[in-house]
Structure 1
């Protein structure tokens, strides 16, 4: 009876990690995933054995990796934020992993990034380079794979940004016209991991995973738009660099509230400096050639779901911003105009104290929900809270002031679109 080889995948429900898990399973490995959210893990790969662990926190590394033939490190983060610390994830965690693997027969396949350098202008590349250096200085049986921009059926991070930009209607936003981009298929990255895990690649190999050609960023977006089946843009709009910087600054601030936007400063700088790699070291190591972007897209079917995602991805921040603005403004107006608001109730027989209590409590709830949706971890719960409070307002208002349903300004009727928008936000905010 053949004993299955055992693989442990760190960051297993991420874009690359999940693809590696599926490819390893198909190749006959017994796979265990590691991720920090048990709920997300079960949703992405429900049949996989999981270990719930946060690599940024102290772990029993020896116990975690014991008994595995190969460890795949597909964990990573783009930028420091509420949920992420680059030094801890890219360097400290890898150092701890290396320390327990040294002297063992376990192979470590590490997913880095093309173009990493300790002299890079972004901490993402610098921290990745420091992590790679830890591996290179060790006695571990390691392979470092460095993909360029990963394109696959799943959309997350950079590949989601590409789809969203390609899906913008009517006007083509021309951004970073001088940036050069090379791509690699998610399928090719997963295949390279399997080839390395099976022993088909020599230990110590460090190689980019990339197509041989590159193209400018607007051309890449146009190729994606044509693949999605959208009509050509009727106009072009050059987006000034200062606007892009402003977007990046805003996304950075939101990062400290837990939002992992691919429009943060790090991602913009990486794109501006180009995402390219050299396929030759991978070929010399015996790796299979990676598909070009047209070949990648030819293997993928552009469905209505793809087109809907491209359009709705842009609507996610718009929906959150509108809900936050509406509920925060409602709360502030409630506090500022509490006497006027209370008069609506006192004119219908309520005592002043009761009316004022209703107004102030309602204003506080509105303000709290508007602020809560800006915090990523609470955003979906805030949407549910908005729906519940809106229904409560309608129910209580119908009992206490039913005449407002006929008010020409429609204060009750206008609550209904808000409920629909909050429900839409709840759905859009499903992260993976």
Structure 2
């Protein structure tokens, strides 16, 4: 009978790759994540359990994992926010799982992070280290694998931002030029995880999974730009330190609204400190070196999809910002110009009371949608609302004030591009 493996964080960047590798190796795999829909969309060939990893109790884990032979923990979060609690995800979950599985022969494979330490400069690294320590002090069979920056065919978080930075038009915005980065291919990482699952690693292995050499962040960006098939930048401009901090603070603010921006202060601090590991810890287990960054890139040639993604990645925050400003401004202008708007309607045969009701309804709708699109879990619904309201505006104007379509400033014509922008935004809202 095939061994049963449960992959926590199964539709994430690392988790989804783990599932594919483990299935190919003959394991009976079950994915675990918050959403069954996202899991099945990621891979409909395996079973899925919907579990909030950060809040599930020991009793719930005992029930969920009752037939498990192996646990692969690929779940993680970069920073505390509206959707994430680092201590809950990185520490409490492992406490509850090890308690639930106490006395069993289950093997727990922990995907941690190179540089994880309780003395690290970020809570991400500190919480990862605390979780590792909980596991290592348990009675389970365990392995702790600590990758550096994972390079994958898929893109999410830091790897997505790296593609976007490499595709930035004309200008290389230089940040942290002295930061040293080591990478690891997702194939090398999933191969290491599969070896641990098949019992081919020494018991209780702790190893950094990484290439041997490091490169500067600028060098890494240029390698990605070359990989994308784009021409070299025309000019390089160093980013002032204050602007980097400001971007981090803005990204943190949006993190409280549910957006998992890879530009939050934790990511920037991690990048500034460098992302490096000790490749010798993996070699000491009797395994070969992981491939270099150049070898990794050569193994996954870029296609038009990668170029489109890289160029459009920064389009989402720009589109969300423009839509929020546009709709909030429309509502505010409606308040300021209430008498003028009322006059426009009453001149076309609409009663004062109905005109006031229509204008007030429009103001409330505009401001509500402009604010809602900034909240991650409401953004899709807000976009649908924007399209619906815009279509209603067009129909209403054609019925009551068709002359507005001939206005030299084209106030109604401008609604159509806003609908197109909203449709574009919906189409790229999906994270993974």
TM-score normalised according to structure 2 size: 0.98
**CA distance, structure 2, for counterparts of residue 360 and residue 320 of structure 1:** 24
Aligned to 2:23: 25
State the shift of 1:288 in Å. Answer: 3.8
**CA distance, structure 1, for counterparts of residue 395 and residue 44 of structure 2:** 39
Aligned to 2:313: 313
Question: Following superposition of structure 1 onto structure 2, how do residues 229-378 of structure 1 map, counting pairs within 5 Å?
Answer: 229-378=229-378
Question: Following superposition of structure 1 onto structure 2, how do residues 12-411 of structure 1 map, counting pairs within 5 Å?
Answer: 12-59=10-57, 60-411=60-411
Deviation per CA, 1:278-323: give whole Å up to 9, x if none: 1111111133421111000001021111011001001111010000
**CA distance, structure 2, for counterparts of residue 347 and residue 203 of structure 1:** 83
**CA distance, structure 1, for counterparts of residue 287 and residue 110 of structure 2:** 16
RMSD over aligned Cα, in angstroms?
0.8
**CA distance, structure 1, for counterparts of residue 73 and residue 227 of structure 2:** 32
State the shift of 1:46 in Å. Answer: 2.0
**CA distance, structure 2, for counterparts of residue 25 and residue 58 of structure 1:** 26
State the shift of 1:100 in Å. Answer: 1.8
SS in 2 for 1:233: coil
State the shift of 1:202 in Å. Answer: 1.6
**CA distance, structure 2, for counterparts of residue 261 and residue 411 of structure 1:** 34
State the shift of 1:58 in Å. Answer: 3.1
Higher mean alpha-carbon deviation, 89-98 vs 56-65, is at 56-65
Moved segments of 4+, more than 2 Å: 286-289
**CA distance, structure 1, for counterparts of residue 424 and residue 285 of structure 2:** 48
**CA distance, structure 2, for counterparts of residue 70 and residue 320 of structure 1:** 42
**CA distance, structure 1, for counterparts of residue 288 and residue 398 of structure 2:** 67
SS in 1 for 2:314: helix
Structure 2 gap ranges (5+) = none
SS in 2 for 1:33: strand
Tell me, yes or no, if the aligned pair for 1:8 and 1:34 is still in contact at 8 Å.
yes
Deviation per CA, 1:70-109: give whole Å up to 9, x if none: 0100001000000000011110011111112222111000
**Aligned partner (choices 9, 12, 21) of residue 11 of structure 1:** 9
SS in 1 for 2:422: helix
Number of positions where the alignment pairs a residue of Structure 1 with one of Structure 2? 430
**CA distance, structure 2, for counterparts of residue 8 and residue 350 of structure 1:** 64
Tell me, yes or no, if the aligned pair for 1:192 and 1:288 is still in contact at 8 Å.
no
Tell me, yes or no, if the aligned pair for 1:200 and 1:286 is still in contact at 8 Å.
no
State the shift of 1:258 in Å. Answer: 0.3
Tell me, yes or no, if the aligned pair for 1:208 and 1:277 is still in contact at 8 Å.
yes
TM-score normalised according to structure 1 size: 0.98
Structure 1 gap ranges (5+) = none
**CA distance, structure 1, for counterparts of residue 288 and residue 349 of structure 2:** 79
